[in-house]
Amino acid sequence: MSVSRSGQRYARVAGPRELELVPEDALDEPAADGVLVDITYCGICGTDVHGYTDGHMLPPAVFGHEWTGTVRAVGPEVTGLTAGLRVVGAVGPACGRCRQCAAGHARQCETVFAEANGVDPAAPAHGGFADRVRVSARRVVPVPENLSDVEAALVEPATVTFHAVRRTAMEFGSLVVVQGAGPIGLLTAQHARNAGAGQIVVSEPSPARRAAAERLGFSGTVAPEDLPTALADVSGGLGADVVFECAGVASLLQPSAELVRRGGVLALLGYPLTESRVSYGDWQSRELTVVGSLAYNHEDFLGAMRAVAERRIDVAALHTGTIGLSGLGDMLEELDSGRSAQAKVLVDPRS
């Protein structure tokens, strides 16, 4: 569908591999407790690719969830935010009212989890593949002055990985394996390094992505077929203290567990869309700790942005291309092909 650039637009998934650019009535007024944000960039995530190819799996707000922009207007009930402020799309603080919060489990706040998955009552009508978005004020976080717009656009995946590494609570000096050197794997490796990992081995089939890992300082980067030998060499045959599975390939789940030493940790970041088969007895007999991780909390955004602002992680190095909204469909196809050289592509609705 062709839409005049003079009007506001947003992209939505209309069916399997069907993308529409939809004209939108002018968004000029926020909700009383909300803000209007002019989108600067929106990153393309693997979740967006899966949502596009599947055609129905994603709530509308999740298709295009890695966005940054500038506040255009604020509602009358909003404090602490002003027009002209740069922000990123995030989740709010723990609500303090849901069952999890009332039971003392604020890190598992049901309101925040619903926001992260785009199913809360105040979820935006669409994501950030758009000219403008209307969103609850609690869902935006100001961007530090020393972050570029590109870095701000990469805060969301940096937060996903910050959350995952934080959940593992790894010991200092841990021997870590990161499976997959896409954006999530490269960010996970950097956060693990910040968290005190002693040695990090990155496994990745793509030579280009292995080179990207090496440029970020990860000299122990190997092809998957070389991983067992490399890990045996550095661990004395013991195995990894922590394995971060970032590829999301169902068939890798049990082989990933077998890389972990007895009593070690298997951390799951990649999200397989098919069922996985594992050896429950193997996991139990080796007393593995398995840590699942999905999305993030409000405080993870603050921690991830501090890490970027203090140059303790490099997110800009992952940015390999910028396209306009009209090129989104073709890029989703390219990223789904498995042959793309792109790492993190940003969509600029202004171009």
pLDDT tens figures, 52-104:
999 988 999 999 999 999 999 999 999 999 999 999 999 999 999 999 999 99
Structure confidence by residue, pLDDT tens digits, 237-279:
999 999 999 998 888 899 999 999 999 999 999 988 888 889 9
Radius of gyration of the chain, Cα coordinates, nearest whole angstrom:
20
pLDDT value at position 331? 97
Q: Is 144 helix (H, G, I), strand (E, B) or coil?
A: coil
Cα separations in angstroms, 23 against 20, 132, 135, 179: 10, 12, 18, 41
Which tokens is 21 given?
Answer: 């650019």
Question: What is the model's pLDDT at position 1?
Answer: 31
pLDDT tens for each residue of 24-37 = 887 788 999 999 99
Domain boundaries, the chain: 8-154+315-347, 159-292
- pLDDT at residue 4, as a whole number: 38
Residue 85's pLDDT is 98
What would be the CATH architecture of the domain defined by 159-292? 3-Layer(aba) Sandwich (3.40)
pTM value?
0.94
Q: What is the CATH topology of the domain spanning 8-154+315-347?
A: Quinone Oxidoreductase; Chain A, domain 1 (3.90.180)
Fold agreement between 8-154+315-347 and 159-292? no
Contact 231, 251 (CB under 8 A): no
Residue 2 scores a pLDDT above 80: no
Q: Are 166 and 300 in contact (CB under 8 A)?
A: yes
Amino acid occupying residue 323:
I
348 contact partners, CB below 8 Å, separation of at least 6: 40, 41, 322, 323, 324
Tens digits of per-residue pLDDT, 318-348? 999 999 999 999 999 999 998 888 999 999 9
> By three-state DSSP, how is residue 229 classified?
helix
247's tokens: 């590829």
The string of pLDDT tens digits covering residues 123-176 is: 999 999 999 999 999 999 999 999 999 999 999 999 999 999 999 999 999 999
pLDDT at 140: 98
- Give the three-state DSSP class for 291: strand
Task: Please state, in angstroms and rounded to a whole number, the distance separating the CA atoms of residues 247 and 226.
Answer: 17
What pLDDT, on a 0 to 100 scale, did the predictor assign at position 25? Answer: 84
Average pLDDT for the chain: 95
pLDDT of residue 57: 87
The length of the chain in residues reads 351
Strands 344-347 and 34-43: antiparallel
* Distance from C-alpha of 131 to C-alpha of 133, rounded to nearest angstrom: 7
